[in-house]
Amino acid sequence: MEKLALIEALAPVLVAGCMMITFGWVATTWLRIKNGYPLENSWGKAIYPKTDQESVERIKLLSQENAQLRAELGSIKDRLGNVERIVTDDAHRLTHEIEALRDKRAN
């Protein structure tokens, strides 16, 4: 009788625990799918998304675009450095340089 009472007392806790574990697994899987993480089987091997030729081409295109944007960013940094130098330079020196350029162009 004592064992039966113990089982009856623990049954709701065990059922609730199993339900919480199942809900946690479903929620984790849903979040992985929603955020694009690969799903894994029981041995840790990715089962979704599978790598196909389209994905490989997309990665190549994105890598090329990334390289182009980095080059453009470097160019913009150089230009910004020149603008900062002009803005922070002494007005007197800048005026002399402008006048020197005008004199060269006039000659």
Residues 9 and 60 in one domain: no
Residues 44 and 62 in one domain: no
The answer to whether residues 44 and 50 touch, using CB atoms and an 8 Å cutoff, is no
Average pLDDT, the chain: 85
pLDDT value for 71: 96
pLDDT value for 15: 93
Residues 55 and 107 in one domain: yes
52-95 confidence digits (pLDDT tens): 777 788 889 999 999 999 999 999 999 999 888 877 777 778 78
Residue 49 binned pLDDT confidence (cut-offs 50, 70, 90) = low
Residues 64 and 41 in one domain: no
3-state secondary structure of 43: coil
The answer to whether residues 38 and 48 touch, using CB atoms and an 8 Å cutoff, is yes
Residues 34 and 82 in one domain: no
Into how many domains does the chain fold?
2
**Residues pairing with 46 in the sheet:** 40
Domain range holding 1? 1-50
Residues 81 and 30 in one domain: no
Q: What is the DSSP letter of 44?
A: S
Signed CA dihedral, 40, 42, 45, 51: sign only: negative
Residues 92 and 58 in one domain: yes
pLDDT value for 95: 80
What's the pTM value of the predicted model, to 2 decimals? 0.39
* Percentage with pLDDT > 70 across the chain: 93
The answer to whether residues 34 and 28 touch, using CB atoms and an 8 Å cutoff, is no
